Homo-oligomer: A and B are copies of this chain.
């Protein structure tokens, strides 16, 4: 494991009364052991098939690298249609490994297609995409595990119609890769009939835990990332997460410390990476943490309304936006920093030039961003605010694989400590039904009546 975790600033010894009493870790050892064992016992079973993803066979990966590598060579643009877990994982990982202005680079400098991860049904966004890609040289990855996601099917229907009209059906078929559950669902049925290339989403891998299955890997292989190195990193973190000793298991330690913090009323969890390349990791974390832990009932059906609201921040940028609140506002949050030891390039502040800011001259931006991160950590600690830091020696396939797997085990352990179903999402059903009703879908007539029965008072409308 190349990542390093520093939990000191979660403890009372560093942050005082709002921190965690170290004796709690011993006191709660039986609970921790039980949660740990639940996750361990279910590896590879039920909704925990994600635990097996790092161990994909070479044969399986080689086919993907070969097929997707060819697509990567032929495509000028590669477009992902997906939403939620089908988009946030691919986006977070791709953003961490690509040039920050990848799509604006000339082809000979980027060595991979332009990448668009389209996870909304805003009509302006769909049309904006069509303004900048050339359909003649574009390839599409349509991702929905269930094969029934309205937003993704909508995008697909619009594009496949255009591709067919422009290129003819034979060529249009070659432009689509479908990532879905083989054997069931609307999208699979279309794919089987039309003859699209299909990658299977394993049965026990849910959307927000799917980035290391074809949901993410297809895109990564198209973009030319070293997916074997990524899975190697994930495997190393999986092994570390299997340590029974909490002092050697960062995912178990962070899950426990955040769980205790929730009990202390800290209902907000901030992820603040100090690297633009990791900005979208906060979006990935927001989904996995919010959707997994935000649950009305526990395993026994008791109403507990569990959950901790994840918040995205970016260092140093949000020092000038959020840190005032973090240092002086309510003691209601845990801040997780991500530090990067070695950035992939250096920017040096020139020695000469205008006569000012002498204390900056000769330093690098690399020194500045790391000094600011340490300073913010110091200021939060001094203000008694709980925080911990994940150190990445560098951002690459291996370390990103470790980070992704850490987030998954962190969430799994936290869900086990909360005694909830980490893997369902019943709270989104009501909205789906109401949407179907408003679009006039057969069978939803009663729901439409219910929606239309809502009466608003005009005095509250301004």
Contact = CB atoms under 8 A, between A and B. Distances in A.
Nearest to A153: B357
A157 to B, nearest CB: 5
A372 B275 contact: no
Interface stretch (A40-48, A63-71, A288-296): A288-296
Interface stretch (A52-60, A217-225, A227-235, A360-368): A360-368
A101 B131 contact: yes
B276 A120 contact: yes
Interface string A15-54: 0000000000000000000000000000000000000000
Interface in A312-328: 312, 314-317, 319-328
A23 to B, nearest CB: 14
A302 interface: no
Interface in A403-449: 425-428, 430-442
Contacts of A322: 286-287, 290-291
A368 B454 contact: no
Interface string A362-397: 011111110110111011011100000000000000
Contact of A372 (B121, B372, B454): B121
A190 B431 CA distance: 56
A329 B366 CA distance: 39
A328 B295 contact: yes
Interface string A293-319: 111100000000111010110111101
Given A14-B454, A190-B355, A247-B459, 19 more contacts: A5-B461, A84-B317, A100-B124, A101-B129, A105-B131, A150-B368, A153-B357, A154-B368, A157-B350, A158-B349, A189-B356, A267-B330, A309-B309, A368-B439, A371-B435, A371-B439, A372-B431, A375-B432, A379-B431
Given A88-B321, A294-B326, A365-B154, A353 B309 contact: no
A83 B456 contact: no
Given A357-B157, A359-B441, A321 B287 contact: yes
Contact of A328 (B129, B153, B296): B296
A345 B123 contact: yes
A180 interface: no
Contacts of A113: none
28 contacts: A83-B316, A83-B317, A83-B320, A84-B321, A85-B320, A101-B131, A120-B315, A122-B274, A122-B275, A123-B365, A123-B369, A125-B276, A126-B365, A150-B368, A153-B360, A154-B365, A157-B357, A247-B459, A286-B322, A295-B329, A305-B329, A307-B330, A325-B427, A328-B427, A371-B434, A375-B430, A375-B434, A378-B431
A434 to B, nearest CB: 3
A151 interface: yes
* The 4 A-B residue pairs with the shortest CB-CB distance in the complex, in nearest-first order: A84-B320, A294-B325, A307-B329, A375-B434
A98 to B, nearest CB: 10
Given A120-B276, A290-B324, A451 B359 contact: no
A353 B190 CA distance: 11
